[in-house]
Amino acid sequence: MPVDLPPAAVAPVVVSAARLPPLRGEAAFSVVRLDEAELAGAVRIDEALSRTPGVSLFRRTSSLSANPTTQGISLRAIAPSGAGRTLVLLDGAPLNDPFGGWVIWSQLAPEGVAGADIVRGAGAGPYGAGALTGVISLRERDAGTVADLSTGTFGTARASGAGAVQIGQVRLMASGAYDRGDGYTPVRGRARGAADTPVDLDARSAALRLDAPVGEAELSVRLGGYSEDRGAGLNGARAKATGSALSATLARTPSETGWGWRLQAWRRDSDLANSAVAVAANRATTTPANDQYETPATGQGVNAALRWSGPRFEGEFGLDARFADGEVRERFRYMAGAFTRDRRAGGETSVAGAYAEGAVTQDQWLLAGGLRLDRWTSSNGLRIERDAANGAVLLDDRPADRDGQVATARLGARRDLGQGGALRLAAYSGFRPPTLNELHRPFRVGNDITEANSALRPERLLGLETGVSARGQDYLLEATAFWNRIEDPIANVTLGAGPAVFPRAGFVPAGGVLRERRNTGEITAIGLEAHATRKLGAALDVRAALSVTDARVDGGAAAPQLTGKRPAQAPIWSATTGMQWRVSSRLDLDVDLTWEGKRFDDDLNSRVLGASLRIDARADWRLARGVTAYLAADNLLDEEIEVSRTANGVAGYANPRMARIGLRLAFD
């Protein structure tokens, strides 16, 4: 007689993004791993990252109010720049803009990011060009649903979220964000004039990712787009940035008996419109100075990796290539109520390389190293200026194509001391070729003009560091001491002050200066980074971090006036401390205090930005499972935090006290 058998149990198919796990050898270097909880409290991703010791935004403002061209991010306060000296990746695909190297943070919904690995120090090995001071590798969400809705002072409103759904063997992950605000006016007090306006913002983004198994591998295809429109703080000055990105990744995780591998191709398109004005001495009026109405650019690339992982040894071999082309199109030289000149300037760049990376463990030791060889090119450069009235060519500059090869490497060792303690030592080198923006795009901020330089050489970095860590059940302590030297750093070098007429740049008005991007000898930095966390009972967590970086410039023959100076926007001291207090089963309080020493707004160290103190606070009240209401305040004490200073002493400030109330939903 037939017997009914229970249905066979079918194991659920677990699908995630196509990615390789972190290299085992990363533990020999200065790596900070942030999980979703550590990123969750921030409105912008760069705000969350900047809480890590050594992560340096170009200015003291986040992307909530910063112009797109100043949204560069660097690791360690060696020499922050608008272009950024750090490679930022999302599951292996670069997020850096193909024209300028900066990162438009509006392209990411923070709720769509599940974690970040921050590797401080030059990124030789599998990272390639651009990782001069390190790499920030972001991981996109694989599961769950998170949404955030908030409104607040200065007309701010925000809606952002991400969620994943499984359909058979396919997983779809979608994310999106909308941010708007009336903004604050950076210039305050008696210095403010009728020309000073708020830095308002309207930003939106959306992304969709498909994950599916392909045999023993995983396939991920991601499509994303963004746009932002923001005020620049002066009447008639605005910036608009738009872009899209497409990537396809096929990866297989290595096993004890088989190789792992990754194949990835990506493309990124961006555009930037940026208008600038000249400011009257009394700041009552502005006059159009230039109108960069288009900056179309395209970046694309491929990378491949082959990895073998055994009980004691792990190795990876790979190839990668990146290509970028773009140009700025602008109107300038405003006279008699109209622009009288047109300009096109741009070109193409590429970098391609091969690398080998390996790590071996023996008892309490971990040894890791990597070697890269890259070839870079700068080609098809042009700068054409025409008379707007009759189209006559006034300047036709086509610099010669250039190329070169760069070898970089890294070597690290880590010793397990037992009971959660470890000691490590590392040496590394890296390089960053100049961006299309630095090579070809002149720009203006207020009355200050900065010229491009098509003859720029790649920056190179050499570094040594040693670190110690101790980890227990309720505490963590890590400290790293480092020495870094950047050779041929690219800096905006002051050449003269207005009112005066200069070759190529034209007229510089009173209160302004002329600068040019130049390779300036070298920058040497010695520093210390440390952070600690401690659980004080079941309800209270405290944290503290310190970054000390003494960076000095040797301008060499190109810029002797900079010798002995500190790089612009590079403070020596910064420190943070904070706590999270679980007051009850429903209420959490979170407070962060950030202090920073003085920094300089210019290469000559003549524009001093005073020390700053900032307190941010947040209270979360759990309404139900997965539903939380919150109240947050940024710059709680309403401190005046200087972020810029003009040649005639007018200071710009970061945001005043800003409060917001919101609702956060989070479900598995």
Average pLDDT of span 97-117:
93
Place of tokens 């923001």: 230
- Residue 13: pLDDT over 80: no
Q: DSSP code of 215? A: T
If one compares 165 and 58, the residue with the highest pLDDT of the two is: 165
Identify the pLDDT of residue 80: 78
179-234 pLDDT, tens digit each: 999 999 999 999 999 999 999 999 999 999 999 999 999 999 999 999 999 999 99
Average pLDDT rounded to a whole number, residues 149-172: 96
Statement: residue 6 has pLDDT above 50: no
Task: Compute and round to an integer the Cα radius of gyration of the chain.
Answer: 25
Structure tokens at 350: 């590429």
What's the pLDDT at 281?
87
- Cα 631 to Cα 51, 591, 647, 660, 663, distances in angstroms: 20, 12, 39, 6, 9
* 71-80, 101-110, 160-169, 484-493: range with lowest mean pLDDT: 71-80
pLDDT value at residue 202:
97
Mean pLDDT of 309-325: 93
pLDDT digits (tens, 9 = 90+) for 420-468: 999 999 999 999 999 999 999 888 877 888 899 999 999 999 999 999 9
Cα-Cα-Cα-Cα dihedral sign, residues 562, 567, 571, 572: negative
Q: What angle do CA 262, 267, 269 make, to 5 degrees?
A: 155
Long-range contacts of 278-282 (CB under 8 A, 24+ apart): 278/446, 278/447, 278/509, 278/512, 279/195, 279/234, 279/446, 279/447, 279/511, 280/193, 280/195, 281/510, 281/511, 281/648, 282/193
- For position 590, which CATH number holds? 2.40.170.20
Among 155, 255, 245, which residue's Cα sits nearest to residue 206?
245
Q: In angstroms, how far is CA 107 from the centroid of its own chain? A: 12
Q: String of b and e for 625-637 (b: at least 16 CB within 10 Å)?
A: eeebebebbbbbe
Q: CA of 220: how far to CAs of 171, 249, 262, 571, in Å? A: 9, 5, 11, 41
Q: Is residue 57 included in any domain, yes or no?
A: yes
| pLDDT tens digits along 412-425 | 999 999 989 999 99
Determine which of 478-487, 512-521, 546-555 has the lowest per-residue pLDDT on average: 512-521
Residues ≥6 apart with Cβ < 8 Å to 375: 351, 352, 353, 403, 404, 405, 406
Which of the residue ranges 69-83, 165-179, 239-253 would you say has the lowest mean pLDDT? 69-83
The yes-or-no verdict on residue 159 having pLDDT over 90 is yes
Contact 52, 32 (CB under 8 A): yes
Confidence check: pLDDT of 1 > 50? no
Provide the pLDDT for residue 558.
82
CA dihedral (477, 481, 486, 492) in degrees, to 10, reads: 60
Task: Specify the number of domains making up the chain.
Answer: 1
Using CB atoms within 10 A of its CB, is residue 335 exposed (0-12), middle (13-18) or buried (19+)?
A: exposed
Judged by average pLDDT, the poorest of 168-177, 500-509, 584-593 is: 500-509
Pick from 123-132, 135-144, 199-208: least confident: 123-132
- CB-CB neighbours of 413 under 10 Å: 16
Q: What is the dihedral of CA 10, 15, 19, 21, to 10 degrees?
A: -50
Please determine, for residue 83, whether its predicted confidence score (pLDDT) is greater than 80. Answer: no
Q: Would you state the pLDDT for residue 71?
A: 84
Domain-embedded: residue 237: yes
- Mean predicted confidence (pLDDT) in 371-382: 96
| Any domain includes 18 | no
pTM recorded for the entire structure: 0.92
Residue 189 lies in a domain: yes
Region of poorest pLDDT, from 52-66, 90-104, 489-503: 52-66
Q: 3-state SS of 232-292?
A: CCECCCEEEEEEEEEEEEEEECCCCCCCEEEEEEEEEEEEEEEEEEEECCCCCCEEEEEEE
Place of tokens 């112009």: 67
Average the pLDDT over each of 129-143, 405-419, 533-547, 571-585 and give the range with the smallest value: 129-143
User: How far is residue 368 CA from its own chain's centroid?
Assistant: 26
pLDDT at position 345 over 50: yes
Residues 263-282, mean pLDDT to the nearest whole number: 94
Per-residue model confidence (pLDDT) at position 124: 62
Residue 319 lies in a domain: yes
The 10s digit of each residue's pLDDT in 602-657 is 889 999 999 999 999 999 999 999 999 999 999 999 999 999 998 888 999 999 99
Could you give the CA distance from residue 234 to residue 215 in angstroms, rounded to a whole number? 57
pLDDT at 362: 92
Strands 513-519, 490-497: pairing is antiparallel
In the block, tokens 């759904």 appear at: 165
Residue 653 has a pLDDT of 94
What is the domain extent for residue 257?
24-667
H-type alpha helices, 13-144: 36-39, 45-49
The lowest-confidence range among 33-37, 125-129, 268-272, 286-290 is 125-129
Query: What is d(CA 224, CA 238) in angstroms, rounded to the nearest whole number?
Result: 24
The pLDDT of residue 168 is 92
CA distance 160 to 176: 6
Whether the per-residue pLDDT at 535 is higher than 50: the answer is yes
DSSP-assigned beta bridge partners for residue 490: 519
What DSSP assignment string belongs to 154-209? TT-EEEEEEEEEEETTEEEEEEEEEEEE----SS-GGG--TTB----EEEEEEEEE
Q: Which comes out higher in pLDDT, residue 411 or 53?
A: 411
Hey, is 436 helix, strand or coil?
A: helix
Does residue 1 form part of some domain? no
pLDDT for the residue 55: 82
Instruction: Report yes or no on 13 lying in a domain.
Output: no
Residue 81 is assigned to a structural domain of this protein: yes
Q: Is 657 exposed, middle or buried (0-12, 13-18, 19+ CB in 10 A)?
A: middle
**What pLDDT score does 501 carry?**
85
Please provide residue 220's backbone torsions phi and psi, each rounded to the nearest 5 degrees: -130, 130
Report the chain's mean pLDDT, rounded to a whole number.
91
Q: What is the mean pLDDT of residues 325-340?
A: 93
pLDDT surpassing 60 at residue 114: yes
Q: Would you place residue 14 in the very low, low, confident or very high pLDDT band (cuts 50, 70, 90)?
A: low
Identify the pLDDT of residue 15.
67
Q: From start to end of 537-653, where are the E strands?
A: 540-554, 573-582, 587-596, 599-600, 608-609, 612-624, 627-634, 642-645, 651-653
